[in-house]
Amino acid sequence: MLRVSRLTDYATVVMTCIAAHPDDVLSTADIADETRLELPTVSKLLKSLGHAGLVESFRGVNGGYRLARPAGDITLAQIVEALEGPIGMTECSLADGVCERESQCGVRSNWQHVNSVVDSALRAISLSDMLKPPSPRVDSHPVG
């Protein structure tokens, strides 16, 4: 099964929490309380998100974190990459020469296509989109 790690999922939760307060600087404790995540986990996530340039930190009595840019300018892909590194469904989706079977592989180009679709989908969804209530789900496989 393909899935993002728990920490990446939590990073999205932390980022949406901060995005929901665009005019505030939130402390790590405030974020942990609101998201119901452990304080050490939130601290670890904020460090990674800060290194990726997605959040800014402020020191001092009124210190804390806020988004480094508007929520509409931050994509899910950027959050995933901050925690996981480059998006790649397979090793060979990212670079040439990482597999000894590359020259005779019959599925590599298809995996690269899948990787491109997933990457595009994650780049098309912004953090501000994640703040919106979900759209009603349409069942694409009707029973009948």
User: How many residues are there in the chain?
Assistant: 144
* Per-residue pLDDT reduced to its tens digit, 3-27: 889 999 999 999 999 999 999 999 9
The class level of CATH for 6-131 reads: mainly alpha
111-116: average pLDDT: 88
pLDDT band at 139 (very low <50, low <70, confident <90, very high): low
Structure tokens at 102: 């590359």
Flag the least confident range among 69-73, 85-89, 112-116, 138-142: 138-142
> What pLDDT is recorded for position 109?
82
Residue 130 has pLDDT above 70, yes or no: yes
Structure tokens at 42: 């939130």
Whole-structure pTM value:
0.86
SS3 letters across the chain: CCCCCHHHHHHHHHHHHHHCCCCCCECHHHHHHHHCCCHHHHHHHHHHHHHCCCEEEECCCCCEEEECCCHHHCEHHHHHHHHHCCCCCCHHHCCCCCCCCHHHCCCHHHHHHHHHHHHHHHHHCEHHHHHCCCCCCCCCCCCC
Overall average pLDDT of the 120-124 stretch = 95
- Give every CB contact of residue 88 below 8 A, 6+ residues apart in sequence: 94, 115
* Dist CA 51 CA 80 (whole Å): 13
